Structure 1
Amino acid sequence: MSLRDAIDNFYERLVQDAIDATREDSDTADYLADVMCVALNRLPPRYYRHPIDMLFYLGDDELKGMKEKSLAAVKTARDFVRDHQR
């Protein structure tokens, strides 16, 4: 097992949740993958090894703020990807 397999970015889950919450019938898998990449590039990484540790050490206000930032990043990313399609 490589070290890379033992570490995750908490924002990946939050961005995925925000994408799921804003999903539209016309969204393709390629479009959503691009949205996720753009959104994640606009957010700071928050790495962790064990999800329970991340949730234990995050305060409610901090988690709420991270969710709000994720949703805003996804909305901005949707517009960006839509405006820059090939």
Structure 2
Amino acid sequence: MLLHAGRRRTELPAGVDSVHNYYELQVFDEIARRDERAREDADFLADVACVALNHLPPRYIRHDVDMSFFLSPQEQEEMQKKVRKAVKDALRYVAERSNPDGA
């Protein structure tokens, strides 16, 4: 979104800082639920989250309730399935590359 070219983030109008990707919280919750290492290692958590989020389509919103209000239960379940798969794949990918010995 181009509010004003060259404007610094600290100079943005009030309210735009609420814009975020809906999948972010879903991904972090799923990672924490699935993996003990991610709950203890912030770098591992961040790496897994980045990999997972890069495999999900962006869904920018201002308020999480907007998504739950406008999505059908089937759409919500499909999004959760995508999150579970992206996190599962990201956990495997990052774990394999963070332990070169494969152990």
TM-score by length of 2: 0.73
Q: Distance in 1 between matches of 2:81 and 2:12?
A: 32
Q: CA RMSD in A?
A: 1.8
In the TM superposition, what are the counterparts of 1:23-42 in structure 2 within 5 Å? 23-24=35-36, 26-27=37-38, 28-42=41-55
Secondary structure in 2 matching 1:42? coil
* Stretches of 4+ aligned residues off by more than 4 angstroms: none
What's the counterpart of residue 20 of structure 2?
Answer: 8
Q: How many pairs are equivalent?
A: 85
Q: Distance in 1 between matches of 2:94 and 2:81?
A: 20
Deviation digits for residues 5-60 of structure 1 (CA, Å, limit 9, x no counterpart) = 13111111111121121022x34111111000000000001111122222110111
Q: Which structure has the bigger radius of gyration?
A: 2
Q: Distance in 2 between matches of 1:16 and 1:70?
A: 10
Higher relative contact order (CA 8 A, sep 6+): 1
**AA matched with 2:60:** Y
